Structure 1
């Protein structure tokens, strides 16, 4: 992996994620109460580590909000409502079928955005217009180019590009007097909307479907007298919008088989098709079959499906994945969240 750069976020500042909210203005302190809350405790978990100290709130589509040690990290912000449209490529648009669990303008402070790729169903037009320009964003080199090259006053100024297998540290400023400081390591993982072959080469030329990343998040602590020795307490793999491709097989090689188990996987499903539901010529995200194949490959302790029914371009419903998971004998390894639900877990 390449040498690791770092950024610092300070949750105590409690800044609004929006550009039109003045510093110090009234800001919602918390997310709305979860409709339901779920936890997962492996049988081998000791009573000492059983108490949850982190949570994942499912907003909808690929948008989640991770809370840990005061940090709020938001993935793939999409806050459009049912009936709204997004542009997904030349002559291709999708219509949202659902509402997000929280409105964009009702968000509490957000410290960091993790953006898998520059696509409107992951970074919609209202989000792009509304987010404050100095909000830290970690994303692909392709998205970095688009977000930082805009007209005067419109460019995002804290965008950090990561390609597959590149990593960076996120230092979390904490008011704690502990001798250990919370840190997050973010590593880009492979993702492909389009498989190999002539179709992939054509897309490379046309640029119709943008390049995408997955992410490996390692949450943990660093002793105050050290700078890089992260003691990982929880490892989260986010698949991003990808098909099952051979590049993904490096993930267990580098992690699971190397004594670095993956505690949680957020898997993007839906079997997204283009140009649309009435002419499903090409599938660009995993369907149920590919999703189960990835679960078997990565072997996370628990999997949470996201990105499965919010737009009319999704043709592989969550029920297909549930059936396939049941047939594979993996039902006890999957947690299903609806929009507005939360998943609580423990970072050691």
Structure 2
């Protein structure tokens, strides 16, 4: 059984989960390219994505946390086929339908979408997120986190929480209450700031969320690709080490990390994209 995450850059990852492959928050523009964030705000990319890892990959769906230029840029829009399923917020799904996309699925919090192949089932459940402080949140795009469950023969194989661009908020406590054990977390960091306002978790909020979720494996992403990101990865890793958090595992662009599998899980390796 294969379950892994490959880091492309920013919030873009390739998830190989048994017989399924998901692409998260595709942004493919090179370093030096600019993306629009709304309300006249732009930001420049400063790190190249590792696009070579996508060569020859067959993707089942895109999981899009929200519609911001650093999560779905013009280069990615050209790459994503119109009929490829996109799981996202209802707000983003409506906007995508007005473009050329034929299969966006808007998921309100706690709603899920499933695929079944042979003995395996993959479930993506939308969970809450809040992209800005107080009333500012209502001025920004709706954002969702995702809990991704892989099951084999009806038994849990692995559970991954993808935070999306959220700040720490009381509503996130509902996630471990509803789902119980979470095997791995992709945590969006960076301490993104616009007009002095914090819009994504910095090191302090990230460690607080890691204490709340307590995954076996925490993979930090979304922290140094764009100029608006002000909190370096070391803010999170240093604080996490001081607080005794374990399982914090940074990943290089183009690198792949295996996700934890529950004991006793057996199955067939991914038919399309062998680990490389």
Distance 1:85 1:335 in 2: 29
Q: Distance in 1 between matches of 2:223 and 2:260?
A: 26
Q: How far apart, CA to CA, are the structure 2 residues paired with 1:74 and 1:253? A: 27
Task: Name the residue aligned to 1:94.
Answer: 43
Mapped to 1, the partners of 2:56 and 2:142 lie a distance apart of 28
Q: 1:185–1:217: 8 Å Cα contact kept in structure 2?
A: yes
Alignment of 1:238 with 2:162, yes or no, is yes
For each residue in 1:251-272, what CA deviation from the matched residue of structure 2 results, as whole angstroms up to 9, or x when unmatched? 121122xxxx100010000001
Residues 328-343 of structure 1: pairs in structure 2 closer than 5 A: 328-330=243-245, 332-343=246-257
Q: 1:68 deviation in Å?
A: 2.5
TM-score, structure 1 as length reference: 0.72
> What's 2:270 paired with?
none
Q: 2:189 matched to which residue of 1?
A: 269
Q: Does 1:133 align with 2:82?
A: yes
* Alignment partners' CA distance in 2, 1:273 and 1:289: 15
1:296-315 Cα distance to aligned partner (Å, 9 max, x none):
00111110001010000000
Return the offset for 1:78: 0.7
CA contact (8 A) 1:55 1:345 kept: yes
1:80 counterpart residue number:
29
Q: Which residue of 2 aligns with 1:19?
A: none
* Structure 2 spans left out of the alignment, 5+ residues: 266-276
Post-superposition Cα deviations, 1:73-108, rounded to whole Å, max 9, x if no partner, equal 110001111000000011211100011111598452
C-alpha distance 104-304 of structure 1, shift in aligned 2 (>3 A):
closer
Structural RMSD (CA): 1.6
Aligned to 1:211: 142
Secondary structure of the residue aligned to 1:315 is: coil
Q: Whose radius of gyration is greater, 1 or 2?
A: 1
CA contact (8 A) 1:79 1:103 kept: no
1:141-152 → structure 2 map (5 Å cutoff):
141-150=90-99
Unaligned runs of 5+ in 1: 1-51, 175-180, 223-229, 276-280
Per-residue Cα deviation, 1:212-256 (whole angstroms, up to 9, x for no partner): 00000111124xxxxxxx422111001000000111011121122
The one of 152, 163, 182 aligned to 1:221: 152
Distance 1:232 1:284 in 2: 34
Q: What SS is found at the alignment partner of 2:51?
A: coil
Q: Of 196, 199, 203, which aligns to 2:136?
A: 199
Q: Deviations over 1:256-300 (max 9, x none)?
A: 2xxxx100010000001114xxxxx11100000000000000111
Quote the residue 1:295 is aligned against: 210
CA distance in 2, matches of 1:292, 1:105: 31
1:324 aligns to 2:239 (yes or no): yes
